[in-house]
Homo-oligomer: A and B are copies of this chain.
Amino acid sequence: MIHPSASVSPKARLGANVSIGPFTIVHDDVQIGDHTSIDGFCEIGYPSPLAQGLPLVIGAHSTIRSHSILYAGSTFGDKFITGHRVTVREKTTAGVNFQLGTLSDIQGDCQIGDYVRCHSNVHIGKMSKVGNFVWIFPYVVLTNDPHPPSAVLMGCEIGDYAAVATMSVVLPGVKVGRGALVAAHSMVGRDVAPDTVAGGSPAKYICDTSKIKLKDGTERPAYPWTSHFQRGYPPEVVAGWSVPPAP
């Protein structure tokens, strides 16, 4: 299960049935859960003094795709799934079933909840807080410095079930409320109220999410998205959403 061209430190702690692909490097301070698969060309547990001696912990049943780099000091729950060439720096914690798309870059010191989905090329600045069941789409940047460059770091907060659409920036310290939607190509400088849509550069209130209808011919409400989109979530989670099943 470990490719002969891979380089795995004897200090790394690998669970049962872990596979490591060609040319991948696993450094010293690494703990990998059972049944996890890591592709080729990865660096796992990249050493850094900012990790302060903490290990990289990857949960069980995870999939790390090729050319990815995960620093020492971060912790990912079970069923972590990445695209290719992701980078995650030190001291980020993510809950279960975090999906992180190709080319995404998490700068460290972030808190990420359960069942979060980041699509390709998402950039999450240091000190960001991302809730549970959040969706972040390509080329979104979560920032932290209110007057760059400076040593002041004010992380954003993205509430549970919120979605931030492609190529939007969330300014330092801004909170996007539970179930809110940030429209594509927006610059979000003020807090977004729960269950509302904000958009534009600068972003303004557009409407409540309840006004948006599904473009699938049914005219059903598109939000909360949990009412019609359940793909990839386990049945016990979907059951907890207490929504009528899709027709």
Contact = CB atoms under 8 A, between A and B. Distances in A.
A128 to B, nearest CB: 13
B229 A151 contact: yes
Nearest to A172: B215
Contacts of A121: 105, 121, 123
A166 B167 contact: no
Interface residues of A, number: 62
B184 A154 contact: no
Given A66-B69, A84-B69, A138-B123, A225 B149 contact: yes
A36 to B, nearest CB: 18
Given A22-B23, A105-B121, 20 more contacts: A23-B41, A25-B40, A46-B66, A67-B69, A67-B85, A87-B103, A123-B138, A135-B149, A137-B143, A139-B141, A141-B167, A143-B184, A147-B214, A150-B214, A150-B222, A150-B229, A151-B231, A167-B169, A169-B184, A201-B201
Interface of A: 7, 22-23, 25, 40-41, 43, 46, 66-67, 69, 83-85, 87, 102-103, 105, 107, 117, 120-121, 123, 125, 135, 137-139, 141, 143, 146-152, 154, 163, 165-167, 169, 171, 181, 184-187, 200-202, 212, 214-216, 222-223, 225, 228-229, 231
